[in-house]
Amino acid sequence: MYLLSGLAYLTSTRILADATSSPDCKCRPSQSCWPDSHAWSRLNITTNGALIKTIPPGIVCYPGPAYDKDACEKISELSIHHGWISDNPFNVMQPGWNGNPCPPTNNTETNTTCNGLLGDPVYVINATDASQVEAGVKFAKKYDIRLIIKNTGHEFLGRSSGAHSLRIWTHNMRKVEFTESFKPKNCAKVATHSAVTVGAGMQWRDLVIQAAPHKKLLVTGGNPTVGCIGGFLQGGGHSPVSSKYGMAVDQVLEFNLVTPSGKYITANECENADYFWALRGGGGGTFGVVTSATLKTYPTQPINLMIQTFNMTSNDTDIFWEFMGYVNSQIPRISRAGLMGYTFMYGDGTGKFGYAAALHMVNGSIEAGTEALQPIYDIALTDKYKDHIVGQQRNVTFPDFATYFLFFFQEENVGSTAVLPSRLLDERALTEDPVFFATTLKKMFNGYVGAYLSHIVAGPGVAQYKNASMALNPAWRRTYSHLIAASGWDTPEQREPVVSYAKNVLEYNLRKLAPDSGQYLNEALYGSEGWQAANWGENYPRLFEFKNKIDPDGVLYCFNCVGSEKWVEGKDGYAYLLFCILAFYTANTGAILGRDTALWWFVPKSKYLKDSAKLAVIHAKLVTVATEHGDSADSIYPAKSELGTLFFTLELPIGISPDSAWQSLKTFLISWGEVPYEIIDIPIQEHVKPKPGLRRPKKPKGGNLNKTRNSIHPRAPPSGADLRKIDVFREPFYEMQKLSQPPGLKMSDLNGFYFRRSNALGEGVTVYMPDTGAYIDDEEGTQHKEFQDINLVDYLWAGPGAGDVKRDFQHHGYHGTAVLSKIAGKRVGTAPNADIVVAQCVNGKGELSTAHYFDCLLKIYDHIVENKPRAAIINMSWSYDTIDHSIPDLAPIKEPSMEEEPDRVPTNQMIERYSFLLISEFEKLGVKLVTSSGNFAPFLGSRLRFDHWLQLTERVAKETPLLLPARHISEFKNSLIVVGSSGWKDENKCQFVKEMRCWAPGTNVQVAGYDETGSDILTPADGTSVSSPTVAGMLASFISAGLTPDNAVQQLYKLCHKRVPNGVPIVFNGIQYTEWPHVYGQQEQSEEYILP
């Protein structure tokens, strides 16, 4: 962010939500939309008496008419067993995530209230056939009631629960049918396979018992009470035998399900293939209610189990963890040898640690398994370890899989509310640096950690399906160990510190072990950061699009499931749709506007974006508000695009306090009764003190400034262009020399020269620049020397209050002009021959808010759709932000707490999800987005009190990016390039974003500017705002050299390299030393420039 404090991007925000009835915010019993008793009675008749009114079992433990001491004691005893929970239509395994509103406990002194409906459904359908499921789905859709699915309730993230909901309980759909020759429906050319068709309610223990007489082996779960085909299977399903046969989801031949529209269908690779793709790894409770599935079966095999333990015999914990680093580094090797199973690293309560492994081979021998484990025993007997660690092994042979499963997997008691930060670890993570691995394990383990659980359940068996097309996280195909740092909490006061440690320490460090991997969505941290990419990787955009297609109204919704970012739950569990009408209100901005003004931003409900009739109603309502507050209809701005009308803005003068104006508008919205609303306070961009010596150029009188083409006619690269032709420059621009520095050479080896390919400087590539605008001409219409040959094909303006003059702004530090020069500058740019489209996000009054920036992106989207450039890149040096309210200087107006406003929707969710949707649309068009990562904390220090600066520095140290869209890097790995800035010593000078792969010079970089007389000059600038366009231009140059956009991105990353050992990987233009001209010919000089 060149010349600007990062604070310039930060906003102070507040959101409130009103519980008015709405088709898009789930109905609850207190509202008029809730079905009356006659409607529920009709549903009961339709489902043949399957409807059950929720009565929390724990109610017998609380004072009142239901209190029964004997019944309470019995339920308290039963409630710790998984079997009782799975057989009960109301309870779930992890009620803590929903507040555990009515626990069955005898301690009535401390639990005096049973608030059962806080996390429980109001009614349950005890489904035994598909027609009852159809009826339930259609009923929930008709009345807009939250619908949730439960089979066994064996679920770690509370996704089988939901307040004010209707639950479909599939536990009693238990039909099982084995066959030796199953062929999927309408798949004539697909080979048959031995298989079993399983009803939705079956659990693995029962199915294994039924498979035994058929002498069949199944790819089961690792717990006897887990359901076979619900969330386990649809989330991927790792198995004790998946290292040989693949994941459980790899075994699916066919699904039968009820879709979110209430239609019963069959899905396989030949029929409803899109459902078949999504259900295999996309997660349960999202794409439909699965009523049965057909799974492959295999001939049963003997299982040889090796139980291995290592215990400390000294107090040297460093030695133990070092040994664990080695043991884990052996996982890929033993997995390839045929071993699979589970390992545990735990504290024994005395300050010492232990290790236990239960590893087995399918149809392998004890001798082969022991041979594979022998190197571990050999290391343990070396001088380094023999006095500190002792190991032993016990072997057990089982004649078949069923015997092994029923012996090894026993029903467990329900314990604490589980907190399960996890990571899928590939071979590199396990073997590249065992010392780092061991150090990480040691520093994470404390009183919050119960044990580390390594599931050796992937490897060769899972990798064999790497080319199968399904929604499963692709990271599974590279995985050898699914590692969980298990934690948990028992009482509500423990929840916050345990979850905080799990997120800030455990999840953070696990991700450092394998930054490019992911996590298992069924065993992950509740509220995991970046859960979309972590759970599904590159498959998430397709899943999100499919979810919106088949379930636009959110009939099926569950926590951290695909599409759930459109929803938020209030403190009472009530579900609000994020994309209802939002009102963004700015603070007093008289200094910029010349009058006291408020700017409101309204986002229509997602299904109305292209509904002209509904949009007309919204517009008319806003006109009424405007006229009632002393303004005209002209103050309303619709942000229209090919995507629809994404939002309206309304600018009103405020003669009284802003709060009074809002109360008037709030009253109007409540009386309207059409939709709920949220209010977000966001200040329009404040004035920023300009850099000394940089003044606004004299106002242009015409000339080339307003001479741009109305549409794009891209210049294609010259046919048969000679890419060997190299231009040589000798300029005092260290950053340009840095870009020309090949691996193995020092800067001094360039002797002050830098190089560019003559015929690969962005030709035929369109680079869009959403920014503050650009000054290209001076008063006489003469272009800045850097822009003399610029190919400016169009200039766009964003609203509200859009300008109509091509210009830049002094109080924004001429940010856009500087950024443009790093792309299209004659000497300092990396793509001077690219086609340029400037999109001025600052309006005609010099105002900038999040609404302006999003409208700017919409203008670019439409331009791309209309003009269809051969290749398009968007450089986003000017980013938008989310807010950290723990730092007072970043949030003068604090958000109310959840206790103060229990229905509040966090502001950051709104901005981040809207950002995600827009980038998804650009990705569909094949557009590459290059963005700044954000500047390192010291750049912000002058604007913060010292203690607040320290807080911000700590955030940076935790790799938590402040800016969007950089935060989306993991969701759009090949479409979003996040760029950092390097300093004089090639050190990191940016806010480090996870998975960043490239940096560019960002200190004392020469950019286009004007001096105090209005003359054009080059002037130094710092920050990621000048690093990002450098990379955008370089990407354009690679495309113009003949690479596809996707290959150009890979080439960009491939060429990045460190110039010094402790430096960051800086981009390189690819011109090797062997290509340099032997005689540096007639170089262009820079005497004509005024260099401060």
The first and second tokens of residue 472, run together, are 């499963």
Single-letter amino acid code for the residue at 879:
S
Decide the pairing of beta strands 581-585 and 677-681: parallel
User: Distance between CA 787 and CA 820 in Å, rounded?
Assistant: 9
The DSSP secondary-structure symbol of 387 reads T
The DSSP secondary-structure symbol of 859 reads H
Query: Would you say 799 and 855 are in contact if contact means Cβ atoms under 8 Å apart?
Result: yes
Looking at 426, 771, 1016, 1022, which residue is catalytic? 771
The first and second tokens of residue 322, run together, are 């070092």
- Work out the angle at residue 884's Cα, subtended by the Cα atoms of residues 879 and 889, and round it to the nearest 5 degrees: 95
User: Distance between CA 1017 and CA 821 in Å, rounded?
Assistant: 11
The first and second tokens of residue 116, run together, are 């059962």
List, in order, residues 6 or more apart from 645 with CB less than 8 Å away.
Answer: 604, 609, 610, 615, 638, 639
Single-letter amino acid code for the residue at 1084:
E
User: Distance between CA 228 and CA 296 in Å, rounded?
Assistant: 13
- Residues 990/535/453/85 CA torsion (nearest 10 deg): 140
Consecutive H or E run containing 976: strand 976-982
Task: Return the number of other C-beta atoms located less than 10 Å from residue 792's C-beta.
Answer: 21
User: Distance between CA 242 and CA 587 in Å, rounded?
Assistant: 57
Whether 981 sits among the annotated catalytic residues: the reply is no
The SS3 of residue 345 is: strand
**Smallest Cα–Cα separation from 640: which of 972, 865, 874?**
865
Looking at 360, 455, 812, 815, which residue is catalytic? 815
Single-letter amino acid code for the residue at 49:
G
Strand boundaries in 813-933, DSSP class E = 835-840, 872-876, 880-881, 928-932
Beta partners for residue 390, in sequence order: 311
Q: What is the DSSP annotation of 413-472?
A: BP-SEEE--EEEEEHHHHHS-HHHHHHHHHHH-STT--EEEEEE--THHHHTTTT--SSS
- Work out the angle at residue 743's Cα, subtended by the Cα atoms of residues 1058 and 999, and round it to the nearest 5 degrees: 35
| Cα 61 to chain centroid, rounded | 42
**Smallest Cα–Cα separation from 827: which of 652, 1006, 580?**
1006
Phi, psi of 141 (to 5 degrees): -65, -45
List, in order, residues 6 or more apart from 504 with CB less than 8 Å away.
Answer: 958
Whether 815 sits among the annotated catalytic residues: the reply is yes
Looking at 635, 821, 879, 1025, which residue is catalytic? 1025
The first and second tokens of residue 466, run together, are 């790497």
Single-letter amino acid code for the residue at 25:
C
Over 195-264, what HEC string results?
A: EEEEECCCEHHHHHHHHHHHCEECCCCCCCCCECCCHHHHCCCCCCCHHHHCCHHHHEEEEEEECCCCCE
Across the beta sheet with 51-53, the strand order is: 51-53, 123-126, 165-169, 146-150
The SS3 of residue 981 is: strand
List, in order, residues 6 or more apart from 1061 with CB less than 8 Å away.
Answer: none
Q: How many residues make up the chain in this entry?
A: 1092
Taking every pair of C-alpha atoms in the chain, what is the biggest distance, in angstroms?
99
Whether 194 sits among the annotated catalytic residues: the reply is no
Question: Which of the residues are catalytic?
Answer: 771, 815, 1025
